[in-house]
Copies of this chain bind each other. A is one copy, B any other.
Amino acid sequence: MTTNTARERLINAAVEAFAEKGFAATTTRDIASRAGMSPAAVYVHHDSKESLLFTVSLDGHRSALAVINRAAASSSDPVDRLRTMVYDFSLWHADNSRVGRIVQYEYHALTPEHRAEVATLRRSIERTMQDALADGVDQGVLDVTDIPGTAFSLLSLGVDLVRWFEPGGSRSGHDLATLHADLAIRMTAARAAPAQPSA
């Protein structure tokens, strides 16, 4: 049984509303109504509309970071590792498209302090992807000239899913994540023989 406290019901309602209409267009009345409560009840459990956004955004960032960190540790082979990282990151955005939309599109609606806090998590995600590419280049199995740019591009595939992905649509998250992982390998794999004993 999920406990489902009033606080959690409000967070779930906020996720729905923010993802559907955006933070600025969402009213606290709307959130309260979706949670089956009066407008005043929101403020018993949360300080403000923005603090509700911060709760959702911070948790979402942590979740995405955990997924990509776990994938980065899943294999010692750089190609397998990269495939898993891109697959898992894209799948996370498909499986969590509403939270993902809030994470990616409502970043600017956070207070400067809260924005700075999630910014460190964002940089950590980017660094994890860059490190994975750099390691593959060092081992001679990946061919990537522009590591920061390519890392960003690989992440973009997953991030951009939240702009249009709807659960129950014509394409599954698994299909899209598999496609992205395949494209990622084609984008980065070394062409020639990966392990040649001598020059």
Residues of A within 8 A of B (CB): 21-22, 24-25, 104-105, 108-109, 146, 149-150, 153, 156-157, 159-160, 163, 171, 175-176, 179-180, 183, 186-187
Contact = CB atoms under 8 A, between A and B. Distances in A.
B150 A183 contact: yes
A24 B18 CA distance: 12
Copies in the complex: 2
- Interface residues of chain A: helix, strand, loop or mixed (majority): helix
Pairs of residues from A and B, 5 with the lowest C-beta to C-beta distance, nearest first: A24-B24, A156-B160, A24-B25, A149-B179, A160-B160
A136 to B, nearest CB: 15
A159 B156 CA distance: 9
B157 A176 contact: no
A171 B152 CA distance: 12
Given A22-B24, A156-B156, A149 B175 contact: yes
A105 to B, nearest CB: 6
A79 to B, nearest CB: 14
Nearest to A183: B187
Given A24-B25, A187-B186, A149 B163 contact: no
Nearest to A20: B108
A60 to B, nearest CB: 15
A65 to B, nearest CB: 17
Contacts of A24: 21-22, 24-25
Contacts of A105: 105, 163
A146 B172 CA distance: 13
A22 B21 CA distance: 12
Given A153-B179, A186-B187, 9 more contacts: A22-B24, A22-B109, A25-B109, A146-B179, A149-B171, A149-B175, A156-B157, A160-B160, A183-B187
